[in-house]
Amino acid sequence: MSTVPAYSISTESIAKEQARAGSDLAAFDVSNVLGLDELELPAVGPNDVRMKILAVSAEHNIDHATTADTVNIADQRGGKIYPGNSATGEVLEVGANVTKFAPGDIVITHCNGAPDEYGYPTRIWAYDAEDSIGWYAKEAVVGDWQLIKAPLACGLNLWEIAALPLRAPTAYHLWRRGIGIYRLKVPTERKARVNVLGFGGGVSELFLMLAKAEGHRAFFCSGSPERRAALEKHGIQGIDQVAFNRFASRDDVRAFSKECRKRTDGEMMHIVCDMLRGPVFPAGLACTARQAVNLSAGWQLSQKVEYNSTLMSVKQVTIDHVHYETPEGCGAATELYGSVFKPTLHKEIYGWVDLPRAHQEMHLNTQTGIPIVRIADEMPEAVKDLIP
């Protein structure tokens, strides 16, 4: 066994920051909760891989873990978790039964934990999956089933590849469910080109890239001018969320609905990707067309959802909750790196010591794209040409 530096989230650090910030989540400083720790790696078992972590992306589930805004997952996991469920790494050692990987391979992770009988996760790795250890560490030991070879020749740089291991499968699963449900109701011969709307962040961006790649009209509603501009380069129309006061009132929602009607020539949105909660939920439902599908694209902001079921029934709107993709689906999503998925990155690539700050800036919603943290000081030759 060996010990490596790793970041952790503990019940003590959460309680201390809650006492300082009070009940105001806006005053909560995530960087006070994500603490540098030491992690004892287990021995490499016959089906395991030991890898050096090269880069990770910051994920919103860390925000929920640090703030304990819905559940205190650190407490449920025994008082401490080692987070990080999206990483790019170099294989250092493989177990006796591992044939898919060899030392020197560059790999990406997925975060599927405790798959059900259909391959879909009931838990998420490094969050609520029992005994799972995340990848905000210098090294990690993980089962080979959790890894996929990184598509180094896809045309993306290393940071762009590191942005996608969690987000791309989520977007891929959302899109295939959304278009699949819609086609159960409305076949292609009745409506070939549909209007697709996404709110906010990296998953929605990738979701819209899939829709656009298949010939549909895509709309991105975000308060970030940088992210809207990046999506517009791909032919995806931007809608300024701030112009509608982030849907603070019914009048704001009505104004947004009117804007969507104008932009779609009266058709409205056939597929909407939001979070089924929070301020965008009423706006997403207000702009749905008949037979539309509204899908969740995020983790919990609350555990309760309210909507006018009579109105949605009359419009034949399907509201669908999504968790995460199967391991096979994660592999399929990886095939689209560079050809379909071209992520928007935050302008700063954070360093190892900056990881807590990266999450605090995500908490404050000040980043201009997907945040990437460089973990390794020395990079392997296989990726040096991919570092901009």
The Cα 158–Cα 171 span in angstroms is 20
Q: Please write the tens of the pLDDT for every residue from 114-150.
A: 889 999 999 999 999 999 999 999 999 999 999 999 9
The domains found in the chain, sorted by start residue, are 2-163+343-384 (3.90.180.10), 168-320 (3.90.180.10)
User: Looking at this protein, which amino acid is placed at residue 29?
Assistant: D
Tell me the pTM.
Answer: 0.94
> Which residues on adjacent β-strands are paired with residue 293?
271, 318
> Which residues on adjacent β-strands are paired with residue 294?
272, 319
Q: What is the predicted pLDDT for the residue at 10?
A: 97
Residue located via tokens 């050692």: 93
pLDDT-based confidence at residue 201 (cuts at 50, 70, 90): confident
The Cα 253–Cα 196 span in angstroms is 18
pLDDT at 355 over 70: yes
- 30, 66 in Cβ contact below 8 A? yes
pLDDT at 171 over 80: yes
Q: Please write the tens of the pLDDT for every residue from 224-246.
A: 999 999 999 999 999 999 999 99
Three-state SS for 261? helix
* Averaged pLDDT of the chain: 94
The Cα 346–Cα 330 span in angstroms is 24
pLDDT-based confidence at residue 23 (cuts at 50, 70, 90): confident
Average pLDDT over residues 153-160: 98
pLDDT-based confidence at residue 306 (cuts at 50, 70, 90): confident
Q: Please write the tens of the pLDDT for every residue from 43-99.
A: 999 999 999 999 999 998 899 899 998 889 999 999 999 999 999 999 999 999 999
Span of 46-50, 200-204, 339-343 with lowest mean pLDDT: 200-204
Q: What is the predicted pLDDT for the residue at 24?
A: 86
pLDDT-based confidence at residue 293 (cuts at 50, 70, 90): very high
Residue located via tokens 């928007």: 344
